[in-house]
């Protein structure tokens, strides 16, 4: 029985779930004709929909339009362009609504059932012409092409980000998959990331929204690349019910199974985003344990992962644990500094560098070997309770400055 219900990683991304297709094309927003700049995800039937948005007071026009469209908890398609954020433009709302209308006509669905997203340069007008010209081709190319859609939403990302898993709910095998983009302007409380998740699990809009809000508090809101919060961030989930399970309408065993599957997808995508930060060479994972409360654990983890000095030290493979303690100290979390232990870990090993708030003798050679790996863990034990939390980030490199020094060119 365990084998039948065990969650499994599968292929297919946002097309793994039944009833979903996707596509990605180059329509001409980007000058580089080899880069896809328009993506589409489509459900053959209307789906339950949930979303969360950036906390930045400056919000992209697509978010405003999408929020209106999802007021009824339903959607059937997601369209996203890259290369232009459609933010801080006088006609931004009009352009976003035109994107919805044009896609609605092409798919024969209501424009209000379209989720609209844009990512790229802020403050430059978005021309609807290439999008209008590209939509027919986009719809024509719909198929099991999650990878192409994942490419179509990339900006400074260096690689596609997608995953899918299967799980059991109500005696039925359900699938959930996601794609995302995110590389710079990423900071806790929803930052420059676009995340699109699809599932064939039957779940009510209210429970889908509850699941998403619960999940992002410990996943996407715990990611930081550079401390900047974007204007266009959004995480959207569509659930079309094709799996045939009894609709999840309350917090029961099936809801728990759905939450576990959703979390598997979101944690994977968090790690992808952090590891592909602009100019990054390393994925940093800060794990805080022994905290009095979850909030304190989260505050400490986020403070360390956001520390520019710590990030720079990780780039240089320098076991400068004092920077970790410094970040804990200014985090605002009420901790007993004299109890804190710090370790650095990777597949090359684990090394204790601080015990009870003070340095210990350790091999600099071994520490460097550990910190030269691509994935680094910063392990912090506050020894003051049982709460724990994890945050994700990346190192701070010369290339980050180069990329953002001429982003518009």
Structure tokens given for 36: 């896809």
Cα distances (angstroms) measured from residue 134 to each of 40, 156, 298: 11, 22, 43
Q: Does CATH place domain 2-275 in 3.60.70.12? A: yes
Cβ-based neighbour number of residue 267 at 10 Å: 18
DSSP H helical ranges for 282-346: 294-306, 308-315, 321-329
The closest alpha carbon to 325, from 345, 346, 348, 309, belongs to 309
Q: Which residues contact 280 (CB under 8 A, 6 or more apart)?
A: 225, 274, 394, 395, 397, 400
CB 153 within 8 A of CB 82: yes
Choose, from 192, 236, 264, 390, the residue flagged as catalytic: 192
pLDDT exceeding 70 applies to what percent of the chain?
A: 90
The predicted pLDDT at position 124 comes to 87
DSSP letter, residue 141: T
The closest alpha carbon to 114, from 150, 80, 151, 155, belongs to 80
Kindly report, residue by residue over 288-338, the tens digit of the pLDDT: 999 999 999 999 999 999 999 999 999 999 999 999 999 999 999 999 999
Query: What's this model's pTM, rounded to 2 decimal places?
Result: 0.84
Q: Which fold has domain 283-405?
A: Ubiquitin-like (UB roll) (3.10.20)
3-state secondary structure of 212: helix
3-state secondary structure of 230: coil
The predicted pLDDT at position 187 comes to 45
CB 234 within 8 A of CB 64: no
Report the alpha-carbon distance of residue 357 to residue 168 in Å, rounded: 46
Chain CA centroid to CA 48, Å: 20
The predicted pLDDT at position 49 comes to 98
Report the alpha-carbon distance of residue 70 to residue 78 in Å, rounded: 12
Counting as low any pLDDT under 50, the low residues of the chain are 1-5, 184-191, 226-230
Report the alpha-carbon distance of residue 404 to residue 192 in Å, rounded: 14
Buried b (16+ CB within 10 A) or exposed e, 295-306: ebbbbbbbbbbb
Contacts 24+ apart (CB under 8 A), 210-217: 211/50, 211/237, 211/255, 211/258, 211/259, 211/262, 212/50, 212/51, 212/52, 212/237, 212/262, 213/52, 214/259, 215/259, 215/262, 215/263, 215/266, 216/52, 216/190, 216/266
DSSP letter, residue 193: -
Q: Where in the chain is the domain with CATH 3.60.70.12?
A: 2-275
Report the alpha-carbon distance of residue 166 to residue 329 in Å, rounded: 42
Report the alpha-carbon distance of residue 198 to residue 363 in Å, rounded: 47
The predicted pLDDT at position 302 comes to 92
Structure tokens given for 35: 């880069």
Report the alpha-carbon distance of residue 22 to residue 248 in Å, rounded: 26
Structure tokens given for 383: 């020894």
Q: Where in the chain is the domain with CATH 3.10.20.340?
A: 283-405
The closest alpha carbon to 38, from 182, 105, 135, belongs to 135
CB 195 within 8 A of CB 152: no
Report the alpha-carbon distance of residue 262 to residue 165 in Å, rounded: 9
Cα distances (angstroms) measured from residue 173 to each of 117, 151, 206: 30, 28, 22
Chain CA centroid to CA 259, Å: 16
Q: Rg (Cα) of the chain, in Å, rounded?
A: 22
Q: Is 192 a catalytic residue?
A: yes
What residues does 341 pair with on adjacent strands? 381
Report the alpha-carbon distance of residue 220 to residue 176 in Å, rounded: 17
Q: What is the β-pairing status of strands 162-169 and 172-181?
A: antiparallel
Structure tokens given for 64: 């405003």
3-state secondary structure of 3: helix
The predicted pLDDT at position 123 comes to 84
Report the alpha-carbon distance of residue 276 to residue 292 in Å, rounded: 32
DSSP H helical ranges for 28-158: 61-69, 92-107, 128-140, 146-152
The predicted pLDDT at position 58 comes to 66
């Amino acid at each position: 029985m365990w084998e039948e219900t065990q969650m499994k990683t599968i292929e297919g991304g946002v097309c793994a779930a039944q009833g979903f297709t996707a596509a990605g094309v180059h329509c001409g927003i980007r000058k580089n004709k080899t880069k896809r700049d328009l993506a589409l995800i489509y459900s053959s039937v209307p789906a339950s929909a949930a979303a969360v948005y950036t906390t930045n007071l400056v919000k992209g026009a697509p978010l405003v339009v999408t929020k209106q469209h999802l007021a009824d908890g339903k959607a059937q398609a997601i369209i996203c362009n890259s290369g232009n954020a459609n933010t801080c433009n006088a006609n931004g709302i009009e352009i976003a609504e035109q994107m919805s209308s044009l896609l609605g006509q092409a798919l024969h669905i209501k424009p209000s059932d379209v989720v609209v997203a844009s990512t790229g340069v802020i403050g430059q007008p978005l021309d609807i012409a290439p999008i209008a010209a590209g939509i027919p081709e986009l719809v024509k190319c719909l198929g099991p092409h999650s990878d192409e859609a994942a490419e179509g939403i990339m900006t400074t990302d260096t690689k596609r980000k997608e995953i899918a898993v299967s799980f059991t709910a109500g005696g039925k095998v359900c699938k959930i998959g996601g794609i995302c983009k995110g590389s710079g302007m990423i900071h806790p409380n929803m930052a420059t990331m676009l995340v699109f998740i699809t599932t064939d699990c039957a779940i009510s809009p209210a429970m889908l929204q509850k699941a998403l809000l619960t999940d992002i508090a410990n996943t996407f809101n715990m990611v930081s690349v550079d401390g900047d919060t974007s204007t266009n961030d959004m995480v959207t989930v569509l659930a079309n019910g094709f799996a045939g399970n009894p609709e999840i309408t309350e917090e029961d065993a099936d809801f728990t199974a759905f939450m576990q599957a959703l979390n598997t997808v979101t944690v994977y995508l968090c790690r992808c985003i952090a590891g592909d930060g602009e100019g990054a060479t390393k994925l940093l994972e800060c794990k805080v344990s022994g905290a009095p409360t979850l909030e304190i654990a989260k505050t400490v983890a986020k403070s360390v992962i956001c520390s520019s000095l710590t990030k720079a030290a990780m780039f240089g493979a320098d076991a400068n644990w004092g920077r970790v303690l410094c970040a804990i100290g200014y985090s605002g979390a009420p901790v007993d500094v004299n109890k804190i232990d710090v370790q650095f870990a990777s597949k090359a090993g684990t090394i204790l560098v601080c015990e009870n708030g003070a340095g210990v003798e350790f091999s600099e050679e071994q520490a460097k070997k550990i910190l030269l790996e691509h994935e680094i863990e910063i392990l912090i034990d506050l020894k003051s309770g049982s709460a724990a939390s994890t945050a994700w980030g990346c190192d701070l490199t010369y290339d980050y400055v180069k990329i953002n020094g001429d982003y518009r060119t």
